């Protein structure tokens, strides 16, 4: 049974129980706008709070467990894409709106700007704006949000930028210079938040006990803290939010771990180092994402990224440190 069919079955059950009010809600009313070709394009009024609560319960019923299981950025992005595909076929506009908002949150958590932009365009295409203000005011608010986003980092930055793009699209100003400015901003957004994934199978293992574990889809056997893992990586001159996807058991996370960036010509003196404590994920098969912080790259080029242990933090610990699946740079 497809998820869209399941949406319809749950909706029918809600009707039978009397939880939902009348079918012809405000969210189902359509307002017609026109595209650049002059063709009529229907937009629906956004659902009110009661309709939205009912719709969110349906989305939670269908996707809630998968959302709870999605821990890493790729998992959240894949689920957001699946949800977007499902709600595009949804006839109940309140459920479609709730699904799009949930997919948008997943895209922001995954820091997937491409998916986020696709969802924002879908929202603008299908729904009227949340408030009625002039075209000039929409554009002014879009500019304000974009400027505000330049002072933020990571998910907060992407959230503000997507909101700014949404306001810009609702302004519907297509004059040459304004459109060119926003096209440039969107290109900047896509380039700025592109995800670099350093996979376990592409790592260089610096230690005889470390091993590529196909069954675990990760690097395992890290039981000697003097051993470490490296990846060669090409980076642009910008800031990166660095995170690790790992698993551990018991007190296996009781180490202060570090990610260091080296120039290939000098693998002994790091350009920068980020450190954090890795806590237990509850088992070797339970992977979680942990942010290490921000790395600033001043010159574009090839670098060496090293994951290594600094020192033990807990006296009572498992003999092995962590399993490593990936490092993310956003």
57-87 pLDDT, tens digit each: 999 999 999 999 887 777 888 999 999 999 9
Q: So what's the pLDDT on residue 55? A: 96
The CA dihedral of 184, 113, 102, 51, to the nearest 10 degrees, is 0
Cα gap 43→220, rounded to integer Å = 52
Q: Quick one: three-class SS letters along 114-181?
A: HHHHHHHHHHHHHECCCCCCCHHHHHHHHHHHHHHHCCCCHHHHHHHHHHHHHHHHHHCCCCHHHHHH
Q: So what's the pLDDT on residue 36? A: 42
**Domain chopping of the chain, boundaries:** 3-192, 196-329
Cα gap 162→169, rounded to integer Å = 11
**Tens-binned pLDDT, residue by residue, of the chain (330 aa):** 556 555 555 555 444 444 433 333 333 344 444 444 445 567 899 999 999 999 999 999 999 999 998 877 778 889 999 999 999 999 999 999 999 999 999 999 888 888 999 999 999 999 999 887 787 888 999 999 999 988 877 788 889 999 999 999 998 776 788 888 998 898 877 765 567 889 999 999 999 999 999 998 999 999 888 999 999 998 888 888 999 999 988 665 567 899 999 998 888 899 999 999 888 888 888 898 899 999 999 988 899 999 999 887 666 656 678 999 999 998
The answer to whether 172 and 128 are in contact (CB under 8 A) is no
Which residues does 18 contact at the CB level (< 8 Å), separation at least 6? Answer: none
CATH class of 196-329: mainly beta
Q: Which single residue is written with the structure tokens 């000039």?
A: 136
């Amino acid at each position: 049974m497809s998820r869209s069919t399941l949406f319809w079955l749950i909706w029918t059950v809600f009707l039978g129980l009397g939880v939902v009010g009348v079918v012809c809600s405000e969210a189902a009313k359509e307002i017609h706008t026109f595209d650049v070709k002059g063709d009529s394009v229907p937009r629906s009024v956004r659902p009110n709070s009661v309709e939205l609560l009912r719709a969110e319960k349906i989305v939670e019923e269908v996707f809630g467990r998968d959302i709870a299981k999605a821990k890493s950025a790729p998992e959240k992005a894949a689920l957001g894409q699946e949800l977007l595909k499902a709600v595009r076929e949804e006839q109940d506009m309140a459920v479609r709106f709730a699904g799009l908002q949930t997919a948008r949150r997943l895209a922001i958590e995954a820091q997937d700007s491409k998916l986020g932009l696709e969802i924002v365009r879908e929202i603008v295409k299908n729904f009227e704006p949340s408030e009625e203000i002039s075209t000039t005011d929409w554009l002014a608010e879009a500019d304000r949000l974009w400027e505000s986003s330049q002072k933020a980092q990571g998910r907060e930055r992407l959230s503000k930028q997507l909101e700014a793009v949404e306001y810009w699209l609702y302004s519907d100003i297509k004059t040459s210079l304004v459109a060119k400015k926003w096209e440039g901003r969107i290109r900047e957004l896509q380039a700025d938040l592109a995800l670099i994934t350093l996979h376990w199978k592409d790592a260089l293992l610096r230690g005889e006990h470390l091993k590529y574990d196909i069954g675990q889809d990760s690097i395992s056997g890290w039981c000697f803290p003097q051993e470490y893992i490296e990846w060669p990586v090409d980076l642009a001159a910008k800031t990166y939010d660095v995170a690790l996807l790992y698993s551990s058991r018991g007190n296996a996370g009781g180490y202060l771990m570090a990610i260091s960036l080296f120039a290939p010509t000098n693998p002994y003196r790091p350009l920068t180092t980020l450190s954090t404590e890795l806590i237990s994920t509850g088992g070797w098969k339970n992977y979680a994402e942990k942010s290490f912080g921000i790395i600033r790259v001043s010159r574009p080029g090839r670098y060496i990224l090293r994951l290594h242990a600094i020192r033990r933090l807990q006296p009572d610990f498992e003999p092995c440190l962590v399993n490593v699946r990936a490092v993310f740079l956003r």
